[in-house]
Amino acid sequence: MAPVAAGLFHGDIDDKTLYNFVVVEGNGVKGMVDSGLLSEVPNLFIQPQHERIQFVTAVKNKEVKTTKHLPIIDLSELDDPTKHEEVVRKLVDAAESLGFFQIMNHGVPSELLERLKQAAHNFFNQPPEYKSLYLRGRVSPSSPIVKYGTSFAPEKAGKALEWKDFVSMIYTSDSDALQFWPQECKEAALEYLKTSSKMVRRILEVLFGNLGLEVIDKNEEYLYMGGMRVNMNFYPPCPDPELTVGVAPHSDMGTLTVLLQDGIGGLHVKINEDEQEESDGEWIEIPPIPSALVINVGDSLQILSNGRYKSAEHRVRTTSTQSRVSIPLFVAPRPGDKIGPLPQVVENGGIPHYRDFLCAEYMNNFFGKAHEGKKSLDFAKISP
Ligand SMILES: O=C(O)CCC(=O)C(=O)O
Ligand SMILES: [Fe+2]
């Protein structure tokens, strides 16, 4: 690493060499930043003007919008008969409008949340040579259920790279997770997945209950949450956050995403078009709240609900001071499942807005493209 790093940012390195260093060799954005030679943002990471996230707007919107648009829901109140209906209404309202909300008293212990953030730092603090084993599937025993990388789709020409490294751990079974997931984070990630699953089921039951599906049976449970993946995202400090993005605008693919973010901030969600008349900007920040988890609706839930629930378009700003970590649990149907708008939602002469499709095909389409807002849904949309 040293010879490349030494020449990295002194004008004698071309984009291709830097790309190889960061993406192909697996040094990541962190490896580039850790070289200590970075005084400005390299060309590869500079976003076009319209993709940049201005700080002033973010702060202003945060003050104006947070309370109305971002409910903080105490999930334990679902068990209180005097508060149950009100909580159901809050969950449904949030899923129908912004597609984003925060939850407290969710059943995932604060101690575990702390351990998860530490586990993410532990993994990313490993040397690039170690992390890149997961990049190339060279770790022994090798497994396709772990992927380390940088940026969402770095190979897409014409798109600036995102200022983010990640490790993605697909859940197939407990024993696979304990055997194949990186040892720095496997225990905490698996516990997160297990404890969150109960809460996710509860929220899905409320949301589907509101659509007229009373109880989620085993088959439906697989359909809504049979596929799970824990990611750990690492955003190193950036010399000029105004020029870069941590994650470009996108929606998530599954039904729900549970997101743990640390205290640094930077996650932004787009306000629905029809709510914009009273705002002077279209993005609001989801402020970090200790012990809370962020929940957002993904494309699959928008499709299953025939558009009643809205998958949330979101993006991440970088910061110049400290590294940020976030840990999403992506909950989705299994790749082999076929989904489409639920008959109960479309019945009585309603019009389906999406076609039925195999989730594996949706995934291929989703992961085969760079992040581009909610365009991922076009794959399933039926044109009017
Ligand atoms: O880091 C965050 O806050 C969000 C990350 C995200 O949107 C994703 O990994 O899909
Ligand atoms: Fe996301």
pLDDT at site 341: 95
pLDDT of residue 153: 83
pLDDT at position 64 over 50: no
**Using 50, 70 and 90 to split pLDDT, how confident is the model at 140?**
low
Instruction: Report how far ligand 2's centroid is from the alpha carbon of 296 (Å).
Output: 8
Ligand at minimal distance from the CA of 261 is 1
Residue 8 C-alpha to ligand 2 middle, in angstroms?
Answer: 30
Question: Quick one: average pLDDT of 254-278?
Answer: 84
Is the model's pLDDT at 198 over the cut of 60?
yes
Nearest to 248 by CA among 148, 325, 153: 153
Tell me what the mean pLDDT of segment 8-19 comes to: 75
Atom of ligand 1 nearest to the CA of 166: 9
Return the ligand number nearest the Cα of 315.
1
What is the per-residue pLDDT for 144?
A: 82
Query: Among 151, 250, 314, which residue has the most ligand 1 atoms within 8 Å of its CB, making it the best to mutate?
Result: 314
Strands (E), 267-348: 267-270, 283-285, 293-297, 314-316, 324-332, 338-339
| Centroid of ligand 2 to alpha carbon of 382 (angstroms) | 24
Name the residue with the closest Cα to ligand 1, atom 10.
252
Does residue 166 have a pLDDT over 50? yes
Give the pLDDT mean for 4-31: 80
> What residues does ligand 1 touch, defined as CB less than 6 Å away?
231, 233, 247, 252, 259, 261, 267, 314, 316, 326, 328
Extract the tokens encoding 367. 């992961």
The yes/no answer on whether domain 15-379 falls in CATH 2.60.120.330 is: yes
Structure-token pair, residue 368: 């085969």
Region 291-304: mean pLDDT is 97
Q: Which pLDDT tens digit goes with each residue over 308-365?
A: 999 999 999 999 989 999 999 999 999 999 999 999 889 877 899 999 999 999 888 8
Closest-lying ligand to the alpha carbon of 324? Answer: 1
pLDDT band at 261 (very low <50, low <70, confident <90, very high): very high
Residue-level pLDDT at 67: 47
Burial 339-372, CB ≥16 within 10 A → b, else e: bbbbeebbeeeeebbbeebebeebbeebeebbbe
Closest ligand 1 atom to residue 328 Cα is 9
Question: pLDDT band at residue 60, thresholds of 50, 70 and 90?
Answer: very low
> Chain-wide mean pLDDT for the chain?
88
For the chain, give every domain's residue range: 15-379
Give the pLDDT of residue 344.
Answer: 87
Residues with CB under 5 A from ligand 2 (ion): 252
Rounded to two decimals, the pTM is 0.92
Q: Is the pLDDT of residue 367 over 60?
A: yes
What pLDDT is recorded for position 139?
Answer: 55
Per-residue pLDDT, 271: 86
120 CA → ligand 1 middle, Å = 14
* Res 36: pLDDT: 86
Tell me how far the alpha carbon of residue 5 lies from the centroid of ligand 2, in angstroms: 31
> pLDDT tens for residues 214-255?
777 877 888 899 999 999 999 999 999 999 999 999 999 999
Q: CB–CB of 331/222 below 8 Å?
A: no
pLDDT at 220: 81
Q: Which two tokens stand for residue 6?
A: 């030494």
Sign of CA dihedral 365, 367, 370, 372: positive
Q: Which ligand 1 atom is the nearest neighbour of the CA of 286?
A: 3
Encode pLDDT of 70-106 as tens digits: 789 999 999 999 999 999 999 999 999 999 999 999 9
What is the whole-number distance in angstroms between the Cα of residue 264 and the centre of ligand 1?
13
CA-based nearest residue to 101, from 279, 274, 293, 302: 293
Q: Which atom of ligand 1 is nearest to the CA of 261?
A: 3
Return the higher-pLDDT residue of 153 and 300: 300
Looking at residue 65, its pLDDT comes to: 46
- The pLDDT value given to residue 66: 47
Which residue has the least CA distance to atom 1 on ligand 1?
Answer: 326
Closest residue by CA, ligand 1 atom 8: 328
Model ipTM value: 0.99
The proportion of the chain whose per-residue pLDDT surpasses 70, expressed as a percent, equals 89
- 8 Å CB contact between 236 and 161: no
Secondary element (H or E) of residue 186: helix 186-209
| pLDDT of the residue at 61 | 46
Which position has the higher pLDDT, 55 or 104?
104
